Amino acid sequence: MERKNAWESYDKKTLKQVDKLAAEYIDFISECKTERECVDNIVNTIEAAGYRELQELIRTKAKLKAGDKIYSVQMNKSVVMFKLGKKPISEGLNILGAHIDSPRMDVKQNPLYEDNGVAYLDTHYYGGVKKYQWVTIPLALHGVVVKKDGTTVELNIGEEEDDPVFFVSDLLIHLAADQMEKKGAKVVEGEALDIIIGSKPLVIKDKDKDKDKEKDSGKAKADKPKDPVKAGILKILKDDYDFEEEDFLSAELEVVPAGRARECGFDRSLILGYGHDDRVCAYPSMKAMLEAGDTDRCACCILVDKEEIGSVGATGMKSRFFENAVSEVMELSEGFSELKLKRTLAASYMLSSDVSAAFDPTYADAFEKKNAAYLGRGLVFNKFTGARGKSGSNDANAEYIAHIRDILDKNNVFFQTAELGKVDKGGGGTIAYILALYGMNVIDSGVAVLNMHAPWEAISKADLYEALKGYIAFLENAGM
């Protein structure tokens, strides 16, 4: 059952729509390389479209009705959106879910040091990465430094043309005989992923001419800091960004590839960029909430943090923030009860949207061709994810899959089904199994990605376009 290539069906009008969406998406992933940046961008976008903040609605004891649009943010790193339908929320939601965190390197809490005239920031990699892919490439620094008085300093260094960039060094090939004998996981160790941030020592200038006479007396030598390069960096941080070394203790700084996402290929059919996993699902999910028409059931979109490390913490899917938000919206629209909440979640339908591994002809042995995802063949559905014997997966039921197939076919959405490589090669997971704990119908869906979890990943513009079409169709028709 080979699926058709979506590109072959597009007319000129559709091709323009494909490119327009791709251009918008390129801007989004180029400007939003952290969870905080994603949430800020999304909130600005949806507020302009009429979404109102849940806490303000609670404060004013607003009474919600069909068509009302609400959002709630969790610690500036996760966001949930609701658009109330014609039916009561207690009859179930149509939910799009994705994550907005991506593999990267995080700056440690005590990171700054100097070694033989070079200044570094010590890092701890986040998520599943091939560590050797992160050396020798231009890197940017994004995030926040929160000082004890509550002042927040936002950093975004390395993205503008006149910004400095940073990098992790690697051993030159001429001296790498021993390194080249190591297994891939050990070629670059985690503790070697420290970024180089400077090499110029701080020069303490004399305050007046009289001090010229003291230069040879030992006084100038006493003034010289122990780590002059580190001292120079600290001066820059204080002068340019107004924070000190101790403020790293309460900072969240992420090291990501520097530079914009780009069109890729002579035919410009692909997008090469950082963070497709999973912002290529998050962006069309958010956009589908804005473009879907009036719905019978409440439409919902969850965009969460921490999926790459197990969906843990207060901003991950395992927290109660989504359940709490549903409870509050229910209270403002029809009245809350614990039993009604349980019935609502159990009656809900969800697309747990996360990326799939695109078939790579260069590494064909890792895939089972009949059950692989292919670039350009549309939205990907995974009946299950997990590892080997389906360990850790949500396994969608046949009735729900049939319902989804019917929706997609009626709305002319190109889609395909896939597994994550050969059975015994490995595996992966999504947030699907967490939502399935409520008893709702959930299936994994998403966009095929080449180079998944690498600093630069690739997707097809056609698959992005079909994902948006599919998400809109799901919001408008699931549960009918």
CATH number, domain with residue 229: 2.30.250.10
196 assigned to some structural domain: yes
Q: Let me know whether 293 and 385 are in one domain.
A: yes
Exposure string for 2-15, b = 16+ CB within 10 A, e = fewer: ebebbbeeeeeeee
Q: Are residues 238 and 280 in the same domain?
A: no
Does some domain include residue 208?
yes
The domain that holds 407 is classified in CATH as 3.40.630.10
Domain's final residue, options 199, 230, 257: 257
In a shared domain, residues 356 and 465: yes
Residue 263 lies in a domain: no
Residues 429 and 450 both lie in one domain = yes
Per-residue pLDDT 10s for the chain (480 aa) are 778 999 999 999 999 999 999 999 999 999 999 999 999 999 999 999 999 999 999 999 999 999 999 999 999 999 999 999 999 999 999 999 999 999 999 999 999 999 999 999 999 999 999 999 999 999 999 999 999 999 999 999 999 999 999 999 999 999 999 999 999 999 999 999 999 999 999 987 655 445 555 555 555 555 788 999 999 999 999 999 999 999 999 999 999 999 999 999 999 999 999 999 999 999 999 999 999 999 999 999 999 999 999 999 999 999 999 999 999 999 999 999 999 999 999 999 999 999 999 999 999 999 989 999 999 999 999 888 767 777 777 888 999 999 999 999 999 999 999 988 777 676 677 888 899 999 999 999 999 999 999 999 999 999 999 999 999 999 999 987
Residues 94 and 198 in one domain: no
Residues 64 and 202 in one domain: no
Number of domains in the chain: 2
Measured from the Cβ of residue 178, the count of other Cβ atoms closer than 10 Å reads 8
Specify whether the CB–CB gap between 440 and 478 falls below 8 A.
Answer: no
Query: Does one domain contain both 298 and 428?
Result: yes
Q: Is 265 a domain residue?
A: no
Q: Is 10 within a domain?
A: yes
Q: Does the residue 212 lie in any domain?
A: yes
Rg (CA), the chain: 25
- Assess if residue 264 is contained within a domain: no
Q: Extract the tokens encoding 98.
A: 């994705």
Strands 448-449 and 356-357: parallel
- Asked, for residue 27, whether it belongs to a domain, the answer is yes
- Distance set, CA 362 to CA 169, 179, 255, 326, 366 (Å): 28, 25, 29, 45, 10
243 with 286, same domain: the answer is: no
CA distance 373 to 366: 12
- If asked whether residues 318 and 338 sit together in one domain, one would say yes
- Domain end position, chosen among 257, 288, 311: 257
Domain boundary among 199, 231, 257: 257
134 plus 97 within the same structural domain: no
Are residues 90 and 118 located together in one domain of the fold? no
Q: Which domain holds residue 181?
A: 104-257
Residues 146 and 233 in one domain: yes
